[in-house]
Structure 1
Amino acid sequence: MNTVEPPPGRLARNAFGRLVWSAPGAAGEEVVPVRAFPLGDPDGCIALVNAAGRELAWIERLDALPEAMRRLVSEELAGRDFMPGILRIVSVSGYATPCTWQVETDRGPAVLSLRSEQDIRRVAPSSLLIADGNGLHFLVRDVAALDRASRRLLDRFL
């Protein structure tokens, strides 16, 4: 098994609360962590990019970072990422689009409007990305983990 080394450098917050990456022999620069595969591998392949979008460091695996650095990156990603996960489909207003769905998410209850069947996209064999008519995206991490009633409602749209 190959061990993954953290990138050489230091990550800290500046006085304004922004992340600063200091590589050996270089001045510190404000960075933002960006996931390469946010849905397929959220804990792997993270780039630290500057304001111009230039990659300053590459993190192969989040869990390979020292605890303090991992916490900083995780906090920053949590503040940037907002994609509620659908846990249950409570009801749908109809089986033809456009329609309204009432769902329970990992962030609480939500109502989303589905404009067409194309708003539901498969992003992995068992994961779906659902685009709401208002521009929000909802994730079904594992279709098989949904309860039977939710799967039955979802099947009518797939």
Structure 2
Amino acid sequence: MRSNQTSEQTQEQPAMQTPDFNLSRNSFGKLVLTLADGLSHDGVVPVRAFPISAPDGGVGMMSTDGRELAWIPSLDGLPAPIRELIEAELAAREFMPEIRKIVGVSTYATPSVWTVQTDRGQTDLVLRGEEDIRRLVGNTLLISDSHGIHYLIRDLMALDKPSRKIMDRFL
């Protein structure tokens, strides 16, 4: 009978992982990570291991001096309050509009002003040089503008033909 109880207990265990830390916000709105030993760290920042190629993968909780304090293999198994705090912080930190269409460019020499349609609306960006367009995995591109904002082209081949033609002149 004891083995039956054990197998029933095993089947009833929730899929939720219990983190070995607690997370909250201080009065300034910064994240505070309290580890299992009771040590608190103010101003921690969640950082995805691979924000573009594996956005649902692991997240490191980093101290203000860049040390990893905790590793989270997946946000899915966290309790809702902790997961929501981390997701809100990541959303603010990872502002990266996705380019859907290139409406036009001011010149084919750099620097040039690009008018682009993104998933957040139409905007203008200043491309300082061709080196600000980086190929990532496959047909994925990352474009950095003069203000340090990163724009993502998830699949170059998914752009319309005029947009691809403009990109060909810069790649």
**Rounded Cα–Cα distance in structure 2 between residues aligned with 1:82 and 1:90:** 21
Shift of the alpha carbon at 1:56?
1.3
Aligned residue in 1 for 2:129: 116
**Rounded Cα–Cα distance in structure 1 between residues aligned with 2:45 and 2:131:** 32
Shift of the alpha carbon at 1:126?
2.0
Aligned residue in 1 for 2:91: 78
Unaligned stretches of 5+ in structure 2? 1-14
Shift of the alpha carbon at 1:48?
0.7
**Rounded Cα–Cα distance in structure 1 between residues aligned with 2:29 and 2:110:** 44
Q: Which moved more, 1:67-76 or 1:88-97?
A: 88-97
RMSD: 2.1
**Rounded Cα–Cα distance in structure 2 between residues aligned with 1:100 and 1:29:** 42
Q: Which has the larger radius of gyration?
A: 2
Query: Using CA pairs below 8 Å that are at least 6 residues apart, which structure has the higher relative contact order?
Result: 1
Q: TM-score, normalised by structure 1?
A: 0.85
Shift of the alpha carbon at 1:116?
2.4
**Rounded Cα–Cα distance in structure 2 between residues aligned with 1:154 and 1:123:** 15
Q: Identify the structure with the greater helix proportion.
A: 2
| Superimposed CA distance per residue, residues 15-53 of structure 1 (whole angstroms, 9 cap, x where no aligned partner) | 332212222222332221122222222222211122232
Aligned residue in 1 for 2:3: none
Unaligned stretches of 5+ in structure 1? none
**Rounded Cα–Cα distance in structure 1 between residues aligned with 2:101 and 2:84:** 30
Aligned residue in 1 for 2:22: 10
The answer to whether the Cα contact below 8 Å between 1:120 and 1:128 also exists between their aligned partners in 2 is: yes
Letter in 2 for 1:11: L
Aligned residue in 1 for 2:10: none
What is the SS of the residue equivalent to 1:29?
Answer: strand
**Rounded Cα–Cα distance in structure 1 between residues aligned with 2:66 and 2:126:** 33
Aligned length: 156
Q: TM-score, normalised by structure 2?
A: 0.79
**Rounded Cα–Cα distance in structure 2 between residues aligned with 1:135 and 1:126:** 22
What is the SS of the residue equivalent to 1:44?
Answer: coil
